[in-house]
Amino acid sequence: MSAGTAVLRRETGRVTRAGALLCALLLAAGGIWGGTALRQAPGATAGPISATLALNVSPNHEPISPTTVFAPDVTTIHLAFKVSQAQPGSKLKAVWRAVNVGDAAAPNSQLAESVLVLPGPAPGTFRFTRGSGPWPVGEYKVDLYLNDQLILSVPYRVASR
């Protein structure tokens, strides 16, 4: 009343209130699901494949010390993967690339390639071992192809710590 406004009370039907409550609950559930989907570990997922870079892997292909940043003196970079949808005999190929490493290699140059024939849905590991010198500092990625179709790119960096 002090601001010259009037408050009117209007009865809302039971169906309208139940509908509004249902909408609010659906929005809350969607927000929780979306937040969970956006939160990721150092790995990546694309449809039937998930992959995680790590300093090492367990005998059952679980990543040990997952990371996306490696020191130049790390000997081997491991990529632990899980394929959830693949026919026996499907081929999974990993192509290791130097995206931007300055004068050490041309942009997006291929460094190594490995192919595995899958027994069906399965976990596994690709490994990339450096030569005699340290890894050049810069940006890299691993492209994963399932039956020659690019499925997933996993970026990583080599940086001095």
Q: Is the pLDDT of residue 33 over 60?
A: no
The mean pLDDT value for 31-41 works out to 45
Q: What is the mean pLDDT of residues 106-126?
A: 95
Same domain, 34 and 77: no
pLDDT at 59 over 80: yes
Q: Are residues 19 and 76 in the same domain?
A: no
Q: Does the predicted model carry a pTM greater than 0.85?
A: no
Which pLDDT score is estimated for 37? 40
Residue-wise pLDDT tens digits, 130-148: 989 999 999 999 999 999 9
Strand partners, 93: 115, 145
Residue 18 is part of which domain span?
11-40
Helix (H, G, I), strand (E, B) or coil at 97: strand
Same domain for 116 and 90: yes
The verdict on residue 1 lying in a domain is no
Average pLDDT, the chain: 85
Is there a single domain that holds both residue 72 and residue 97? yes
Residues 81, 27 share a domain: no
Residue 38's pLDDT band (cuts 50, 70, 90): very low
**90 and 27, same structural domain?**
no
32, 158, 43: which is closest to 101 by C-alpha?
158
Cα atoms in the 13 Å half-sphere on the side-chain side of 108: 2
Other CB atoms within 10 A of residue 134 CB:
14
In a domain, 2, yes or no: no
Domain count, the chain: 2
